[in-house]
Amino acid sequence: MAIYTRTGDQGQTDLLGGTRAPKDSPRLEVCGDLDELDALLGLARCEPLPEGATEVLDAPTRSAPRTLSGSNGPSTATTPSSNR
């Protein structure tokens, strides 16, 4: 199934705040890495864990969404989207 956004690709992607960033940006790499970390922490929490391990996993699991939203927010390094 094809999905059409009508904004074109041109090697960029939209960020929060209406800015665009290159898809090979280190910033987007960090977003992907943090998303994978959050998924792995959630998977680990599904397994029987030693005593105290749940508390160790809780802090990064709670902060990952905030970190992701912050890394995807507006930045002076991106340019406003002109395709909207």
Residue 7 lies in a domain: no
Residue 62 lies in a domain: yes
Residue 5 lies in a domain: no
- For residue 48, the model assigns a pLDDT of 92
Expressed as residue numbers, the domain containing 47 is 23-70
Q: How many domains does the chain have?
A: 1
Residue 4 lies in a domain: no
Residue 31 lies in a domain: yes
Is this prediction's pTM over 0.85?
A: no
Q: From residue 4, give the alpha-carbon distance in Å to each of 8, 20, 59.
A: 8, 17, 38
Residue 84 lies in a domain: no
* pLDDT tens per residue across span 20-62: 889 899 988 888 888 888 888 888 888 998 988 888 888 776 7
Residue 35 lies in a domain: yes
